[in-house]
Amino acid sequence: MNFVSEALNLSKFSTERLEERGILRIAFVKHPFFSDVVDAVRIEKKFGIYEEGTVIVKGKDRLRVFRGFPKIKRILYLESGLKKHFGSTKIALEEKMNGYNVRIGKIGDEIYAITRRGLICPYTTEKAREKIPKDFFEEYPEHMLCCEALGKASPYVPDYYGIEGLEFFLFDIRESKTNKALSIHEKEEIAERYDLRMVNILLKTSAEDIENIKRVLEELNDKSREGVVFKDLEMNLPPLKYTTSFSNCGDLSYAFKNFEEYGRDFMLARIVREAFQTFEFQDNIDNRAYRLGKAILDSAVESIKKVKEGKEVTEELNLTFSSEEVLELFKMHLKLLGITFREIERKKRNDKIEAKFERVMRATTDKIKSLLEGNPW
Ligand code: ATP
Ligand code: MG
């Protein structure tokens, strides 16, 4: 762990303490596919300036620190929330896309993809090597591309966009060691020049322009999109986020399908968001009530039905790999994450390998079973 002390400028004693307290964890599965990485640890819980998900890498050429992607605060009431935070500063409304957070950087000779909690993911890395031009890192060796990864072949989040495979949508470019973000203007210029897909910028305005801001959110909701991240154009202030009713209800639907796997807090927060939005947008409360009720009941009833028919509540994953090697490595990676999937099918198609995984929602299945047998809650 000497490389951690050196990279973070900590005494050997402090590093040992962090290790003992379980804050430093292994960040990857050792494998030839990760041949540029000699060692890598991640920070499990924010400490000092270092965000959760920060990764410290002993690369074959040099030490690297990839800071965790900062938490984005949410506002529930737009009118006062935006003014209070941004004042009269110019802001951009960026589309908030619903996938999973990936930081892409170059270690040694290759591209690596790190997920939110700070693990180097083999599957995402394989896709990033196919999609991200390496020459960006020749110009910006100290930077990382912060992207939302999404599509039908996403292992972690279902697809809402009808996108084949897995795509990366750039939303921030940050210096990996300091987490300092480039301005929105610089980001747009780079995305254009390197032909990187970027999240949509829906509007540039200021907090007073509340009517137009609300209109953008209504349009997003009509298109079944997740929401918006508000950022000042210079990227000096922390951003804020806000989600559509579609997203709040979608989360609730998912949470009630698997109600024992999802915490009470998760559900309550989304219902309260919906209440504030109903109040602020002043639209038809009956429609909203119906939509919210449907989201909760339909999915929960579907799970009850499934268990009654003797089946289990499950999630299915369809992934495409370019080699058996990465597929096997990904399975080890899931074990490291503590997620239990079983592989139920493997097919060769063209030169790719298609695999179907199934995750059983054990807690929800058992709970429903017990309740259907007449046991008390
Ligand atoms: P947080 O990231 O704020 O800690 P969380 O993990 O619950 O919270 P979300 O509610 O999904 O995450 O919101 C933040 C995430 O949104 C970011 O981590 C990022 O992955 C994703 N995101 C999608 N689009 C954007 C965008 N345009 N700008 C910034 N983040 C975006
Ligand atoms: Mg998200």
Give the residue whose CA is nearest to atom 22 of ligand 1: 96
Main-chain dihedrals φ then ψ at residue 137, nearest 5 degrees: -75, -15
Cβ–Cβ < 8 Å for 347, 353: yes
Q: Write down the pLDDT at residue 109.
A: 97
Instruction: Give the residue, out of 69, 116, 241, with the most ligand 1 atoms within 8 A of its beta carbon, to mutate for a pocket test.
Output: 241
Separation CA 237–CA 75 (nearest Å): 15
- Of 153, 182, 198, which residue is a domain's last? 198
Q: Write down the pLDDT at residue 149.
A: 98
**Tell me: the pLDDT tens digits for 19-33?**
999 999 999 999 999
Q: Which runs of E-coded beta strand occur in the chain?
A: 24-26, 37-43, 55-59, 63-66, 73-74, 90-96, 100-107, 110-115, 143-150, 167-175, 201-206, 227-232, 240-243, 314-321, 341-349, 352-360
Cβ–Cβ < 8 Å for 341, 317: yes
**Tell me: the pLDDT tens digits for 35-50?**
999 999 999 999 899 9
Q: Could you tell me if residue 237 is inside a domain? A: no
Relative to the CA of 228, which ligand 1 atom is closest?
Answer: 27
- Of 162, 178, 198, which residue is a domain's last? 198
Q: Could you tell me if residue 263 is inside a domain? A: no
Q: Could you tell me if residue 253 is inside a domain? A: no
Instruction: Give the residue, out of 46, 148, 161, with the most ligand 1 atoms within 8 A of its beta carbon, to mutate for a pocket test.
Output: 148
Q: Write down the pLDDT at residue 339.
A: 84
- Indicate the pairing of strand 73-74 with strand 90-96: unpaired
10-residue averages of pLDDT along the chain (377 residues): 92 91 95 97 95 98 98 98 98 98 98 98 97 97 98 92 96 98 98 98 98 98 98 98 97 95 93 96 94 96 98 93 94 90 93 93 96 97
Q: Is 109 helix (H, G, I), strand (E, B) or coil?
A: coil
Q: Which domain holds residue 325?
A: 314-372
Q: Write down the pLDDT at residue 213.
A: 98
CATH number for the domain harbouring residue 365: 3.30.70.2160
Cβ–Cβ < 8 Å for 340, 372: no
Domain count, the chain: 2
Q: Give the pocket of ligand 1 (CB within 6 Å).
A: 69, 71-72, 94-97, 101, 148, 171, 199, 229, 241
pTM of the model: 0.95
For CA atoms 137, 142, 143, 144, the dihedral sign is positive
Q: What share of the chain is helix, strand, coil (3-state, %, to 5)?
A: 40, 30, 35
- Of 143, 168, 198, which residue is a domain's last? 198
180 CA to centre of ligand 2 in angstroms: 21
CATH number for the domain harbouring residue 129: 3.30.470.30
Instruction: Give the residue, out of 161, 172, 229, 237, with the most ligand 1 atoms within 8 A of its beta carbon, to mutate for a pocket test.
Output: 229
194 in the same domain as 327: no
Q: Write down the pLDDT at residue 1.
A: 78
In the beta sheet, which residues pair with residue 23? none
For CA atoms 148, 237, 64, 21, the dihedral sign is negative
Q: Write down the pLDDT at residue 263.
A: 87
Q: Could you tell me if residue 209 is inside a domain? A: no
Count of C-beta atoms within a 10 Å radius of residue 334: 18
